[in-house]
Amino acid sequence: MKITDLKCAIIGNHPVVRITTDEGIDGIGCGEASKPYLKPHVLFYKEYILGEDPRDVERTIRRIRRMGAFKPWGTAVSAIEVALWDIAGKAAGQPVHRLLGGKVRDKVRVYNGNIRPKTGGGYTPEGMARNMKWMKDLPHNFSIIKQGIAFHGNMATEFPDYYYGDVELKERFPKRGRLTERGLKHTIECVEAMKEVLGDEVGLALDVGPGVIPQDALKLARALEHLNLMWMEDMITGDYTPFVLADMYRDVSDNTTTPIHTGEQIYLRQNFVDLIEKRAVDVVGPDPLDVGGLAEIKWIAEYADLHGIDMAPHGTLDGLIGLAALVQVSATMPQNYIAFELPNAEADWWYDIVEGPATDKNLVKDSHIEVWDDPGLGIRLIEEETKKHLREEDADFFEG
Ligand SMILES: [Mg+2]
């Protein structure tokens, strides 16, 4: 079997990859809904993989893997890797999880870091408690809910004099700096109010940064120890930070019982070695659509497990194709697996253009998704319906 074409269409705002073969089997993959600008980056790799046997996933991906980088520049390689697994699964008539070593569990736990009320309650203890109640009452019956505080989201810019660093209300401006005493106290009050709503039935995870200085990270982690948080995520580095700073994380995690988590922006297993071998964090959370793909995140899960570190994959904006990929690989992870972050469809029409077990709107029951055995990822694009959402320049997406 040989790869005959690599295509990329922007569907909604997802870069969606389609790889075709000389045997009529195709595979799909995608990147987050925040990255439509990656189309040229995906197509850059085409000449390197044409003619390869897509079932030799590792050999094919090795041709392009070194030309990727931390988020968002690991997405294209990752999306291609996922599409290769989809082909390999379909060709073998097997679900991807079976090619990755088989199921360790029949259903995978998911957590909510994504489904929130449309109108934010504001960054007050009352507002955050109200939002938390809404999230707790969802029919998914989530057993873990994640909320953004401090530098993640707008708490740092909405609360007056939250920190000493530069306050710039520009998109993607990296917030960083020492917290004021008022900022610190306010953060603790908000977290306590949220946990009050959840009680001990639902675990609370916090997305905190990046940009918190290590000393404040430790103060916050210690002050919140009594709440038995699931984890505090990306405090120092994280989302769109092109480096890791494992030693700073270790200074924090060594001195608190609150679990410390990072990793969604990191590309490749090699960049987890420091975090894992130094036991600098308690939980790692790569995104399969950023880290280099499904085999890559599986490798990291295994290596983390050898070091007593848990795994909770990132997934917020990965859409329904990403959801299918996350289910497949999460089913194969060792017992350090906690839950993955449930992505949802960026728009309701996504449910019209895909078919397969991943596309059930009520997929999540009691915070779990049952793992399906359909060949490949278990999600397919319906050509006629998808075409209604293709841009003019992507009209040939289904050709070949
Ligand atoms: Mg995060």
Calculate how far, in angstroms, residue 234's C-alpha sits from the geometric centre of ligand 1: 6
Task: Please name the helix (run of DSSP H) or strand (run of DSSP E) that holds residue 15, with its range, or none.
Answer: strand 14-21
Task: Kindly tell me if the per-residue pLDDT of 382 is higher than 90.
Answer: yes
What's the CA-to-centroid distance between 3 and ligand 1, angstroms? 35
- 164 Cα: distance to centroid of ligand 1 (angstroms): 23
The reported pLDDT for the residue numbered 266 is: 98
How far, in Å, is the centroid of ligand 1 from the Cα of 7?
A: 29
Task: Report pTM.
Answer: 0.98
Distance 235 CA to ligand 1 centre (A): 9
What values do phi and psi take at 7, rounded to 5?
Answer: -120, 155
Task: Give residue 154 CA to ligand 1 midpoint distance, Å.
Answer: 14
Q: What is the mean pLDDT of residues 294-305?
A: 98
pLDDT of residue 172: 83
**Distance from the CA of 149 to the center of ligand 1, in angstroms?**
11
CA of 52 from ligand 1 middle (Å) equals 35
Q: How far is the CA of 242 from the centre of ligand 1 (A)?
A: 14
CB atoms within 10 A of CB 302: 16
Residue 400 has a pLDDT of 87
Domain assignments of the chain as residue spans, ordered by start: 3-93+381-394, 98-378
User: Once rounded to an integer, what is the mean pLDDT over residues 41-47?
Assistant: 98
Mean pLDDT score across all residues of the chain: 97
Residues 6 or more apart whose CB falls under 8 angstroms from that of 170 comprise none
209 CA → ligand 1 middle, Å: 8
Say yes or no to pLDDT of 121 above 80: no
Q: Tell me the two tokens of residue 357.
A: 């077990």
Neighbours of 354 (CB within 10 A): 21
pLDDT at 2: 98
306 Cα–ligand 1 center, Å = 24
| Percent of the chain with pLDDT strictly greater than 70 | 100
Secondary structure tally for the chain: helices H, strands E: 16, 14
**Mean pLDDT in residue range 3-16:** 98
Out of 3.40.50.970, 3.20.20.120, 3.80.10.10, 3.10.290.10, the CATH code matching 98-378 is: 3.20.20.120
Question: How far apart (Å, rounded) are the C-alpha atoms in residues 319 and 343?
Answer: 5
For the chain, percent of residues with pLDDT exceeding 90: 96
Cα of 204 from ligand 1 centre, angstroms: 14
**How far is residue 9's CA from residue 12's CA, in Å, rounded to a whole number?**
9
Instruction: Tell me the per-residue pLDDT of 162-219, one tens digit each, with 9 for 90 and over.
Output: 999 988 888 888 999 999 999 999 999 999 999 999 999 999 999 999 999 999 999 9
Q: Which amino acid does the sequence have at 329?
A: V
Residue pair 387/352 in contact by the 8 Å Cβ criterion: no
pLDDT at position 98: 98
Instruction: Write the CATH number of the domain with boundaries 3-93+381-394.
Output: 3.30.390.10
Say if residue 251's pLDDT is above 90: yes
pLDDT digits (tens, 9 = 90+) for 63-118: 999 999 999 999 999 999 999 999 999 999 999 999 999 999 999 999 999 999 87
- Longest pairwise C-alpha distance within the chain: 64
CA of 326 to the centre of ligand 1 (A): 16
Q: How far is the CA of 43 from the centre of ligand 1 (A)?
A: 28
- Residue 122 pLDDT: 86
The pLDDT value recorded for residue 248 is 98
- The whole-number pLDDT of residue 265 equals 98
* pLDDT surpasses 90 at 120: no
CA of 289 to the centre of ligand 1 (A): 14
CA nearest to 36, candidates 65, 64, 7, 16 = 16
Quickly state the pLDDT bin for 54 (edges 50, 70, 90).
very high
CA of 341 to the centre of ligand 1 (A): 9
Give 232-246 pLDDT, tens digit per residue: 999 999 999 999 999
pLDDT at residue 119 greater than cutoff 80: no
138-150: pLDDT as tens digits: 999 999 999 999 9
Bridge pairing between strands 107-111 and 380-381: unpaired
- Residues in contact with 214: Cβ distance below 8 Å, sequence separation at least 6, in sequence order: 236, 248, 251, 252
For residue 282, name the pLDDT band (cuts at 50, 70, 90): very high
Nearest CA to 343 out of 324, 365, 367 is that of 324
φ and ψ at residue 159, rounded to 5 degrees: -85, 125
Ligand 1 centroid vs 351 CA: distance in angstroms? 26
In angstroms, rounded to a whole number, what is the distance separating the alpha carbons of residues 341 and 376? 21
Distance 313 CA to ligand 1 centre (A): 10
> 312 pLDDT exceeds 80?
yes
CA of 233 relative to ligand 1 center, distance in Å: 6
CA 239 to ligand 1 centroid distance, Å: 6
